[in-house]
Structure formats: structure tokens, C-alpha cells
Structure 1
Amino acid sequence: MSENPVDESRNSTKSNTELIKMQRDMRKRKKRKIIIIVLISVVAVFALIVFLISMAMNAINDMINKTYLNVEQAQVTRSDLSQYVESGGGIGLADISFVDIRNSLEVDEVFVEEGDKVTADTMLMTVTESSLMDAISQVQGKIDSLDDSIADVSDDKISGKVKAPLEGRVKLIYCKEEDSVADTVCDNGALIVLSLDGKMTCDVPETGLKAGDQVKVFDKDGNEYKGQVSRVKAGKAQILVSDKVLMPDDKVTVKDENNNTIADAQVQINKPLSITGYKGTVKTIKCKAGDKVKAGDVLLTLSDTKISADYDSLLKQRKEQEDILNEYLKIYKEGGIFAGEAGVIKTIYDPDAKTEEDNDDDMSMNPADYADYMGQDTGSDLANIEDEEEEVEAGYTRVARISPNTTFAANVGIAEKDILKIKEGMKAKIEIEAIDYKGEGKVTEISDEPSDKQNGIYTATIEFEKTDEMLTGMYAAVKIEVNSADNVLSVKTSAIRKSGNGEFVYTEYNSETREFGGMVYVTTGLSNDDFTEIKDGLKEGDTVYYESDRSAMSDMMYGEETSEETEEEDPAQAKIDEHNAAIASMEAEESDQGEEQ
């Protein structure tokens, strides 16, 4: 029996619906699968990218560390350290000496010329016999006159006794028998010191005290003395106590009446009187510390008092004339003026040199006029020395300038922050690049006032041995040793690191992780560019690690500026360099002028 057409139609429709539903489900599953695959692929790609980036960064870090990070190690050792102040300047002859004669003498004949080599026994010139004999006669006349004056006062004398001018107590005796009166007074301000009012005094904090209050004063041995507040002023109370036992500068403790300590103090003489003198020798001492004396009592007796104050002055004047006479007699005996030391003549008196007035009169220049002529010397061999006028002693004329030609000097600028570190006699290292010279010298002079007030630059003179290659005006780099330490623990300066808590070093380094460790804080001492003294924190033989010689790429990786434009110059050093450059320029000009002349 055939199926009902209606039922067949329904079955067919149902089958189609199920098929469509199945197809739809299949598409959804397929789409979900695709999404999952895509997501998995994206995650995989992302993970791969992260992995590759990580590998690349590690490779880059390895390259930087292997190529640019230079980790070094150094041991703590014992060494001698020096600290320097560095500068530089032009060089020139340093040890010019002078030959001066008295204005009363006239030069007769000159035997040497500029540039001549001389010995100490080389005769430079003679003087006219008439001027020499006239000078001797005048000096002898002055000596004879002084002898008459000395005879007139030779019987004068000062008192041989030193008496107390007022009543008091002897507290200090500075002199002893055979002492010079003048020396004792000069050293101590007095021969003897008296206490006039019988009181010693000290100041303590006010702490409620008022004038008239009674206090207790105890010496270092616990002995008690009665004290009284004399006055109260500016928060201080003045305490008076008997001078019978206590001595100046004795330490005491001041207490109130209830034995409460007020303060510790030192007592002094309340009303002192200094006994002084100016002539003689202490013969006997007639008193001792603590003695009570009356006005007129003899305190000391003196010897060597049979002269007056004028006597000493006259003797001094006679000695001066004796020295002048001996100068003249030496020239008379030897026949002329000698060099006195070996060297090269830099400037010599020229009897043929004439001033404009001399040309009119056809007369030779005398030594007094020649002083101006000598001042015209360019001093090219002293180009590096400050342009100071050569001081000539009153009554003399300079007739020659001699250079031993063995010593050069450099005047160098020193910043005010360093000038107090430098002392005369300090060693200095000298380097002259032009002639490949390295040597040592010493500081011979330090200016008291700045040569460049605006920038606070002072001048130090460094002298050193001259060599044949050295020429005036050459530039010398100078390192003055201002401090040194022998056989001290030290480590490479580049190994020292700084933090807010102080200076430290690393004592460990992991080459695999490239990490420093074992941070140790240290106390440092003397330091220079190469080594630093270690006072505490490390011991001899310890090893430290540090990073050095990083390239520009490494520095950039560590966030440090390496451009030359970003380097800050030390302002003080910049001023010194500018100052030295100006001096060198000026010296060069002076040297050129000297050569032209």
C-alpha cells in the first residue's frame, strides 16, 4: 500500500531541515576551528617574536659587554704616593747677580763686554784714584768725629739696681742671673710682674650671681680660698680671690656657698705691674715669687750698665762707617772691581755711553747717571721673571749684571685655592716638550699678592738646572709636589666609586652575569690621577674590580655623555691657562725686542 503523499512531503521537508541544520553546524565548527588555528598561530608568532627579540638583546648585550665593557682587577698594595698642583709657563735665566759700587766712586776703565765669560777673580773695571782717595778721606773724617762723641758719653751709665716703684706682691720672675735685660723683656714683656691690689681674678658664667656674693674657690689640690663676686657684666661674673698662694694661669673650680659647682676657670693677676729695662745683664735677683715688697725695695741688680743710650747709637754709626771704609780699602788694595762669581756678563757699565747733555759737553756718563742707562736693558734673558724694578741699595750704583748661566726658572700661575698648599723648597717636576726634557726643580719664591687679581691667580717661581738645549721663552709644564706619603696602602684611583654614603669599591665580579658585588666602603687619604691611599676598609692583597676604558657606545648605553662639548672645564684651571698664555705672549714680545736691540 503506497504512502500518503502528504506524509512523504512532510518527511522530505523534515529531512531537508535536518540537512540544513547539519550543514550550518558544520560551518560553525569549521569557522570556530579556523579562529582557533588563527589564534594559535598569532600566539605562536608573538612568542617567536618575543623569543627572537630576547635572543637579539642578549646577543647585543653580549657584544657590548665583550667589546666595550672592560672589567679590570687590581690588588691593594703598598706604595709611595705624591700629590701635585699643575701649571706651566715660559722659562728664562733665573740667578742674575749684581755688582754695585758706591756713588762716590768714578769708573775709570772697563775690561769686559756683554757676553764675556768671567770667573770670580775676573777684574771688571777700575775706579779713578782721585775719587777713591777722596771717599776714603771723607769716611775717615766721619769716624774721627764719632770717636770724639763716643768719648764724651763713655762715662755715662744707667742705674745698676732695679727697684719696685709701688708696693705689691711678686708674682712672676722671668729673668735669671746672667740673662740679658733687653732679651728678657723682648721675649716676655717684663723682667718681673707685681700684683698691686693683692687679688687674683677669673671670670665665670653669671648663673644668678650678683656683685658682693661670696663664693668658694678650690685649686687643683682641693685647697679652698674665699672668693667674692666683684661685678657682673655681659653674662660674666668676675671673681676676686687672694693672690697670696694662687699663681697666674692656675686652674681653679668656683663653687657657691652650697658647694654647687659654678664653673672651672684660670686665675690671672687682677692689677699687674710689669717691671722692665733695656740695658745690662742680670747680676743678682733679690726677691722670689710670693714675696711682699714695698716701694723702693731692690728687686734686681745689674751689671754692664756703664753706657748711655747714645753710646749704642754712636757705636752703630761707627760700625757702618767702618764697613764703608773697608769697602774702599779693599778696592784700593786689589786695584779694581771684581766679578765675585763665575758666569756670563749680561750688562756692563759703559764709560763711553753718553746722555744728550754729555754729548753737548763731550763728557762720559758717571755711575749715578748710568743707573738710568742700565735700566734700559730689555732683560730678554729674564723674560719669564716678573717685571719688577731691580732694587739698588741707597748710595750705590749698579755697574754689572752677571748670570752664572746654570739655572733656569719658570714663573707659573697658581689658583688661589691651591696657593696655600705650596711652600718654598717644594719639589717640582719639569717637562719641556720642545726639547723632550724631563727633570726636577724646586719652588724658590711665592708671591704674596695675586698677579691677576680679577681671577685670583698667584705666581710661584720654579728653578731648575739649565741644559744647553734650553732657550729663553720655551714653555715648561710644571707639577709641584704638595703632599706625599711613603709606604701606604693604595689602590687604583679608577677603582674608587662614590655614593651618597661615601666612597666604595667592588671586591667581587661575576663574569657570567657581568655583575659587580662585594661592595666595601673605604676611607681614603692622599690621591692623585693614578693611585689613592686606603686608610680603612681594605687590607694589603685584597682584590678590587672596576670598569674602565669604556667606548662611546658603552657610555651611551650607560647614559653617560661623551661628547667633548659636554665636558665641563675646571674654571680655576681655565683662568690659570689664560693667565699663563698671556704671560707667555708678553715674554715672547719682550724677548723679540731684546734681540732687536
Structure 2
Amino acid sequence: MNTKKKNSAKMRRWMAIAGVAVLIGGGGAVYYKKTKAAAAAGVVYNAATVTKGDLTAVISSSGTVQPIEQYNVVSLATGDVLTDNLSEGDEVTEGQVLYEIDRSEAERNIQKYEIALKKQQISNEQTQSSLQNQYVKASTAGVVTELYVDEGDDVNSGTKLCEITDYETLTATLPFNTTDAANIFVGDAAEVWLEGTGEAVAGTVTRVASGSYISDAGVPVSDVTVVFKNPGAVTSGAQVSVLTGGYACNETGECELSACVTVTAKTSGTVTGLSINKGDDVTAGELLMTLDSDTAEVNGLSSELSLENAQLELQDMIDKLDDYTITAPISGTVMSKSYKAGDTLDGNKSTLCVIADMSALTFEMSIDELDIKELYVGQKVIVTADAVEGKEYEGQITAISIVGTTSSSVTTYPVTVVINDYDGLLPGMNVTADIVSAEVEDALMVPVAAVTRGSLVRVEKSSVDEADIVKEDGDYAYVKVTTGISTDDYIEIKEGLTEGQTVYISSSSQTTESTTEMNMGMMGGMTGSGPEGGYSGGGERPSGGPSGGGPMGG
């Protein structure tokens, strides 16, 4: 899209063609273009008059209007379309169900992933349990009676590590008459009599046999097991008798140490952190040593990651179920519909339908780098379309991008315009946009070509104060001016010139032609027909004026 500045309609009707000089005299006006032959003879200066008028600087561009928001609705799922709930032209609301896709295969896949996850959970529990086997702990309290390994030893699964004997707790299993045993229960308090000393100690029933047998005396008996604390130096084999719940054992029996445990390795590894020696007391659950194994640690970590992956895979499948229900991403109008119930989606992510928010139309202008700073968000834009003759639309700038595009050494920036009231416009129509970047009423102005580099203007030396002269050239001089807004043809003069003053424009600042065009018969009244005192002609080239030497036109 091309952009340019232009005058208001009123001013554009009066813009002189570049290179045309207006001469006033003899009751008429003569418009002519300098020929190449004249230009070849030297620099020619054309006169123009400083006038007043209204200046309007307009930035123009073109574009193609589109809905303010538009979505191509696609499906991430594959399968048969079961239902469609839309037609072209329908108004839909955000979240409204548009299509339902057959999800039966997806549901079966979820069941498969659930089974896979359960298997991985079991496997991980086993792996983590094996990993705990690195930590060798005492299964019972007691004394370390044997130690078979040293720090740094490599052991295999099943290797004996140590022996732990519990000297503090004794057990005795004695026969009771079966009829009495039926009234004895686990947890009942018991008195244990040491036959050797006659001492009685407290104990607890830990087991009552469910069966019975015939004793040597020919009486049906059932075994009852009692546990009790060693009151001193009682050893295995000491004779005891038991009384519990008012029932006495049928005969005496031997007591024995409650635990003599051989601790073995449940995994392979290197003995580290050995914290016991032979003869040490240990408590149940106390860490005795660690069997370091890099393989076990790697397997443990790998198992945890596999479990996490299985969980994620299942969740992904569950999340994908939502893909089988297609809903409207926005509220808007169904512009087109490509799929209907009974069609099959093959995974190519084809567009099912197009939904557009038609509450407003928008288009993008491409604005030259010289003009972009004159625009602002909220600025009014006048929009016209060739397809809708005689109608103007009002738009508004909603965004100005700072990311420019450079082509042929010219940088342009995208500017977004929104039209809310667009009756008659349709998406895809081409439009032209005008933005008034600046307006000045009753501005003092001269043709743009009159101002050269350095903001200098050529005038008759006699028309200015000597103190204002920057450079002299015979009967002419250059003065510095302060400029304001400009159009393609005129530029505002804020300081340095006065209304009615004559300025001189170098022919090198204007386009020359190989032919001479003359238009006679325009009467002297034309001087006053310019736009509010605008450009009215400049008189002919002064006789004896210099043919060169002035600054080149800007």
C-alpha cells in the first residue's frame, strides 16, 4: 500500500502542476512550463507570491477491510462427524457446541493407558521396595552376637551379615486342658513361675492354638504361648509354669529366647556406614549398615520416571477427549462451513468452518516513516470505498506498530484502523483512508519548492532588512524562514516572510518538460479565485535576474 500527503479537497483543486509558473500582466494570466532548452541556458527563477490560506495536511493509504476478529475452526481429533449444529450465516456464541466427533476409539485408548499405569505402579512399588533393601535394619531388639562383614565388603543377595539375639524376652509354650484353653485369649495377662527359683514374673498370652492333642497323661490339651521379660540370668531351657485367667497349665515346660535372628542381605552392594560391632545392643528398626548399589539407585529413578510418564500419557489422552467436541472460539457469524455430519476427519487439520466477529471491520494502513510520528491511537480516519460510491465512513486508529518494514530504502509501519459503523461495506472490499495530520487556518504559505536547504528562501534584496539577509546574489538575497506544516504543494511560513512578498523559485527545483504548454485567455480576475488568498500566480521572471548561482531547490 502506498501512502502520500495531500491537500484538502478545496486546496487540491487549486494546486498548480509542478514546474508551471503563473504570470500576471496585460489583463490576463499565462501558464507555461520551461523547456529543456531554457533550462540548458542556465538556472531560471520563477516568481511566486507569499499568500494566505487554509492548509490541511492529509496522510493517505489504502487497505482491505476484514472482520475485526476471524477464526478458522479446525479439529485436532480424527474420526466421523456425528453431529453438526450450524449453518452458514448463523449467529453463534462463544463456547457453543458446533460439532461432535466420534470418540469411541479415544475412550478405548484411555482404558489401555489406565491398565498400563496400574502395571507401572505395581512395578514401581516393587522397585522402590527393593531399593529400601539397601538399608539393613534390625528386625528385633537384642545383642549382636555375630558380625560377618566389614566396612567396604562387597556382598550378594542372601549373604549373612550378622546375628542378633534377644536375651531380654523369653517365651514359653505350655499345654492347657483344651476346655480351659477355650477360655484363654491372646492379650490376656499371665503369671510365669520360674521352677528353679520359685519367682513369678508377669507375662502376656501371644498365641492360643486352635487345635488339640492328647497328652502323655491321656488328657486333651491345647498349647498356649506366653511371652515375658527375663528377670535376670534365665536362659533357654529353664523350666516354667503358667497361670492365666484362673487356669493353670497342664504341665511345666521349657522357656526359650524369643528371638535369635540371622540378618541376611536382600540385595547386592558394598557395605558402607557399618554402625555396629559384635556385642552391641540394638533396637528394633535400627539402621545397621547400608549396601550401596549404583544399579539399584538407577533402577529406582528409572522406575519413578516411567511411572510419571505413564501418568502424563494417561492425562494427555483424557485431555484429548475435549478435542472431540468442537465449540465456537468466539461469538460471531458463521462465514463458511466445510464439514457436516457423516463426513470423516482424517487428521489433516482441515478448516471445519470460519467464524467472524462482524461487530466491526478493520484494515491495516502502511504509513511512511516520515509520517508515522504524526499519528496516535484514537485518531479519526475518513474511509471511502470505490464499491460504495458517495459515502464516507469514520474509523479510528486502534494500534500503531513500532515494527517497520523496509523496502527500497523506505520504511513503513503498520497502523490498524477499526470501523464500527460500516453499513454497505463487506469483508474483502478495498478502501482508501485519509488521516488529517495537521490543519492551519489563514496560514502564510509559499510553494514547497521555494524553500531550499537550510530553510532559505530567495527574495528581492530590496524587500527585506539587511540584517535578515543570509546570502546575497546581485539584486537578490536569501533569508532564513521558520516553516510549519506542508502539503505536496505548499508549506507554511511561520516567520521570515510577509504576505504579498515575492519569492523566487529555481527551475532546478521544478520538473521541466520538452514541450511548451500555453493556456491563454484566463482573465485578471483569476488572481482572486484562489482558495482564500491561496496561490494566485507569481508574475514573470524579473528582467536582468541572475541565471544561476542560487541554492538548489529543496
Q: TM-score, normalised by structure 1?
A: 0.35
Hey, which of these two has a bigger chunk of helix by percent?
1
Q: TM-score, normalised by structure 2?
A: 0.37
When Rg is computed on C-alpha atoms for both structures, the one with the higher figure is: 2
Query: Using CA pairs below 8 Å that are at least 6 residues apart, which structure has the higher relative contact order?
Result: 2
